[in-house]
Chain A
Amino acid sequence: DAGITQSPRHKVTETGTPVTLRCHQTENHRYMYWYRQDPGHGLRLIHYSYGVKDTDKGEVSDGYSVSRSKTEDFLLTLESATSSQTSVYFCAIRGGRSDEQFFGPGTRLTVL
């Protein structure tokens, strides 16, 4: 299995509070991604990174920011959480023979 972990695995928070999710890889891959998964929508890209300090927006980036100060860590921040951000968040790295993605175990976030 690709060395990719996410923390925390579960979080319950209140509307208006800031939340930071962490993705950590041990594979030294250049590309890292944050997705959210919601019923009926599959996976939707929030932000991705193509190197240290290099990031770009995805399809559903509003309300989210990211940072990547080291190759191994990619942080996703909800500056002021809203109930619509209740979701399961997956981090992924990109590599392999067919440029595929390897996914972390996910973080279940509930915003009350």
Chain B
Amino acid sequence: GEDVEQSLFLSVREGDSSVINCTYTDSSSTYLYWYKQEPGAGLQLLTYIFSNMDMKQDQRLTVLLNKKDKHLSLRIADTQTGDSAIYFCADITGNQFYFGTGTSLTVIP
């Protein structure tokens, strides 16, 4: 099956940029997603990118997709303490979604 990988932890200072990376193996994915999970809550969709795009910007969020290397990244500009959470990348292949292990982002005031 599909294999989606992320680093487990990231720590940044408030106001800096955060970059969370993800690699995947299935090149047939139509969409790739970034979800955010706050403690004790379900996952919420942050943003997504269609597979024929290289970049998508949405306010403080920038998604970059390198299809050749099967690499996806999420950049959060001007990171705030409220951005502390776990971030999951995911893709869809057929009817199934595949999630990475999640990256725990800690923002230091």
Contact = CB atoms under 8 A, between A and B. Distances in A.
Q: Do A and B come from one complex?
A: yes
Main DSSP-derived SS at the A contact region: strand
A58 to B, nearest CB: 7
Contact of A42 (B40, B96, B102): B102
B101 A103 contact: no
Given A33-B97, A43-B88, A59-B1, A104 B45 contact: no
Contact of B99 (A40, A42, A50, A99): A42
Given A45-B96, A56-B95, A99-B30, A104 B102 contact: no
Interface string A20-45: 00000000000101010000111111
B100 A100 contact: no
A48 B95 contact: yes
Given A98-B31, A99-B31, A40 B101 contact: yes
A82 interface: no
Contacts of A43: 43, 88, 99
Interface residue tally of chain B, by bracket?
A: 20 to 34
Interface in B21-62: 30-31, 33, 35, 40-45, 48, 50
A87 to B, nearest CB: 14
A35 B50 CA distance: 24
14 contacts: A35-B99, A40-B101, A42-B4, A42-B88, A42-B99, A42-B100, A43-B43, A43-B99, A59-B1, A92-B43, A100-B45, A100-B48, A101-B33, A103-B35
Interface of B: 1, 4, 8, 30-31, 33, 35, 40-45, 48, 50, 88, 90, 92, 95-97, 99-102
